[in-house]
Amino acid sequence: MILLIGVCILGYLIGSIPSAVWIGKWSSGIDVREHGSKNAGATNTFRVLGKKCGWAVLTIDVLKGVLAVSIPLFCRHYFLGYKDEALILQLCASTTCILGHIFPLFAQFRGGKGVATALGITLGLNPIAATISLFIFLVIFVISRYVSLGAISASFFYPFISFFVVKEDARIMIIFTVILGFSIIVAHRKNIKRLLKGEENQMNLLKRKA
């Protein structure tokens, strides 16, 4: 129980690293939460601060997820022959990491939507499903230039990819993939409304920042 609590706390603290906020303040003295979409995520950082800061935030946020899901690997000597227990710890750390990203302790509990961190988590848990989902995101994004639509689409298909394509059969993993995908979609509820109204902002990473 102590190990479980410790892993959950560590996962939350990792997720709470507000890369967009800190990089914005260090590089330009700007809090990205006061500009653009007012979201502390990579997409808003790209729009407000440009590509260099955007890629830095994206990389850090993905690595947060990878690190969180890897926490039990540092405790592997406790789980020799206990694969299920290690998986439970991974999922607990992943869940609290996402919560930390959305409600960061180090940034007044005002964070991002968790897409990049979720990508890092899925890469750690199931690289094949994560890669296919990332491909779906890229295709939708390139065609529509809507980051939110790409993220929503990838999140929707991720549980199906995990179950039908990768043949994931662990019940707890199936439940986790559904909850993760649903959570990302819910986090984009405002974007969905803007998409339906035709008011969502498009994004082109190939375009030079003015």
Q: From CA 52, how far away is CA 56, in angstroms rounded?
A: 6
Token pair belonging to 10: 């560590």
Q: How far is CA 136 from CA 79, 132, 193, in A?
A: 35, 6, 21
Q: From CA 28, how far away is CA 22, in angstroms rounded?
A: 10
Q: From CA 144, how far away is CA 121, in angstroms rounded?
A: 26
Q: From CA 205, how far away is CA 77, in angstroms rounded?
A: 44
DSSP secondary structure letters along 68-97: HHHGGGGGGGG-TT-HHHHHHHHHHHHHHH
How high is the pLDDT of residue 210?
41
Q: What is the pLDDT along the chain (210 residues), one digit of tens a residue?
A: 788 888 899 999 999 999 999 999 999 899 999 998 888 989 999 989 999 999 999 999 999 999 999 887 776 555 545 556 778 888 999 999 999 999 999 999 998 899 999 999 999 999 999 999 999 999 999 999 999 999 999 999 999 999 999 888 788 888 999 999 999 999 999 999 999 999 888 887 655 544
For the chain, the domains span 2-197
- How large a percentage of the chain has pLDDT more than 90? 66
Burial of 84 (0-12, 13-18, 19+ CB in 10 A): exposed
Residues 6+ apart with CB under 8 A from 143: none
Residue 187, Cβ neighbours under 10 Å: how many? 22
Q: From CA 190, how far away is CA 186, in angstroms rounded?
A: 9
Q: From CA 167, how far away is CA 163, in angstroms rounded?
A: 5
26 backbone dihedrals φ, ψ, rounded to 5°: -70, -40
Question: Which amino acid, one-letter code, is at 96?
Answer: T
pLDDT tens per residue across span 49-87: 999 999 999 999 999 999 999 887 776 555 545 556 778
pTM (two decimals): 0.88
- 114 in the Ramachandran plot: left (φ > 0), alpha (ψ -120 to 50) or beta? left
